[in-house]
Amino acid sequence: MADEARTVAKAPVPVDPAPGKVIAVHLAYASRAAQRGRTPAAPSYFLKPASSLAGSGDVVERPAGTELLAFEGEVALVIGTPARHVPPETAWDHVVAVTAANDLGVYDLRWADKGSNVRSKGRDGYTPLGPGLIDARSVAPDALRVRTWVNGTLVQQDTTGRHALLFDFPQIVADLSQHLTLETGDVILTGTPAGSSVIGPGDVVEVEVDAPGVVDPATGQAPTSGRLVTTVVQGDVPFTEVGSGPRVDDVQRAEAWGSREAAGLAPEPAPFVLDAELAAKLREAPVAGLSAQLRKRGLNGVVIEGVRPATPGTTLLGRAKTLRFLPHREDLFATHGGGYNAQKRAFDTVGEGEVIVIEARGERGSATLGDVLALRARVRGAAGVVTDGGVRDSVAVAATGLPVFSAGPHPAVLGRRHVPWEADVAVACGGATVLPGDVIVGDDDGVVVIPPHLAAEVADAALRQEEEDAWVAEQVAAGHSVDGLFPPNPTWRAAYEAARRARQS
């Protein structure tokens, strides 16, 4: 079949003159954005080579060693007169025709493209167009429909109406024209709606663009491009080591197929939520007990060493928002230390219930925050700050009411020892690795870092242990020796369980 693919006669592309360039929109349909879980604020683009063009009836290869060839039925715009710096109001005047397109791509190669799509979408035959053209003068840009069939089954259907598109066609033409000259014959692929998925050898894909609300006077029917037919065959030429080859993971499989379910993958675990019930348990459980439970589960490096609350009796609970400082270097501080730097941005964007965790390398010879930033975090609803560095204006910081755990007070400003470098990255605070979103709990004993997936389990176990320890303390207070009692041997364990059942009855 691969030999057949290389020798079959190429069907003509119905664009004259031949396109000098093909420009494709990454994401334009609301249905596709909802499927992908991301909605861009403005259109973005990539280029496809003219050598990727093909016509209706051509075959397309799935490259050897790949699994994720996907179709994308799209409306293609053909530029009739050059456009440069045109406004949206007149942009459609520069479009001479509309036709069907199939923006094929190999998801196995996306990892190396980083958005350019040169490898994944630039292959020979990966931009079929046609078979016919719709006169752009006969239709409004918001009156079109695109449909795609795979092996005769309708799999994509959407319109270009106002609510269907994130960016209408005149906006796309106008936007592109402010960056480059759109020349006669150029083709713009306007994005695909939801329903794109994976195809394999033997599959037949058909794409049609029409205008169902319009009547063509010549035919008495709605204008149509006709069905653009593409058949998939298996390629047999392997990739070599001269460049990037195929690589797939479950993220690419889910995106190629359209969902994890369609790709045959297990559903994503539900996102962690620090709800009121779990928060109450974590506040009730002492940090010492939480630390012990984490240790039982093999996690020893979860205590942030050397930090204490500014005000004794302070407790702390929230999700980590991280901030990293580098050792002071004059040239780096000149570029990163002034203005709206990473430190100020972190305090200015901290979310409600978040704890700002600062990596200061245990350097106590300079402050990492003061009263103004503490007040800003407090106003934004932050749950607190943990820093293995110093705090200036310590009395005023404590007066804000924001829980702050630090290595102690220091009067010097940030630039004496630190460069504010980056936020929302993995940091090392007090010898513990902290990831954004980790659960941070603090009390007079110190601060512990809990991986979110263990938070509920550890909280429940710590509270059960507290209940047992309280009972043991009662026995010790009654005069019993700790030998065999702490921890309980089988005899004392049976006594504890009996007492526990009695309390619950």
Chain segment 460-494, per-residue pLDDT in tens = 999 999 999 999 999 999 999 999 999 899 999 99
Averaged pLDDT score across all residues of the chain: 94
Q: Is a pLDDT exceeding 70 seen at residue 2?
A: no
User: What six digits make up the tokens of 199?
Assistant: 């195809």
- Give the start-to-end residue ranges of the domains of the chain: 2-257, 300-450, 458-504
Q: Is a pLDDT exceeding 80 seen at residue 3?
A: no
pLDDT given for residue 10 in this prediction: 66
Architecture of domain 2-257: Alpha-Beta Complex (3.90)
Residue 191, marked binder = no
The sheet carrying 105-106 orders its strands as 105-106, 69-70, 198-199
- Alpha carbon of 274 to those of 240, 339, 404: distances in Å? 49, 34, 20
Bridge partners of 448, per DSSP, are 303, 441
In degrees and rounded to multiples of 5, residue 187 shows phi and psi of -120, 135
Residue 372, marked binder = yes
In degrees and rounded to multiples of 5, residue 475 shows phi and psi of -70, -40
- What residues contact residue 66 under an 8 Å CB cut-off, 6+ apart? 106, 108, 109, 246, 248
Distance CA 172, CA 175 (A): 5
Distance CA 349, CA 374 (A): 13
Residue 393, marked binder = yes
Q: How many CB atoms lie within 10 A of CB 345?
A: 15
User: What six digits make up the tokens of 415?
Assistant: 């630039």
Residue 103, marked binder = no
Q: If 0-12 CB within 10 Å is exposed, 13-18 middle and 19+ buried, where does residue 300 land?
A: exposed
Residue 386, marked binder = no
Q: Domain spanning 300-450 has what CATH number?
A: 3.50.30.40
pLDDT given for residue 504 in this prediction: 83
Which segment, 213-222, 458-467, 496-505, is predicted with the most confidence on average?
A: 458-467
Q: How many CB atoms lie within 10 A of CB 138?
A: 16
Residue 337, marked binder = no
pTM over 0.85: no
pLDDT given for residue 8 in this prediction: 42
Chain segment 239-288, per-residue pLDDT in tens = 999 999 999 999 999 999 999 999 999 998 888 999 999 999 999 999 99
Chain segment 407-458, per-residue pLDDT in tens = 999 999 888 999 999 999 999 999 999 999 999 999 999 999 999 999 999 9
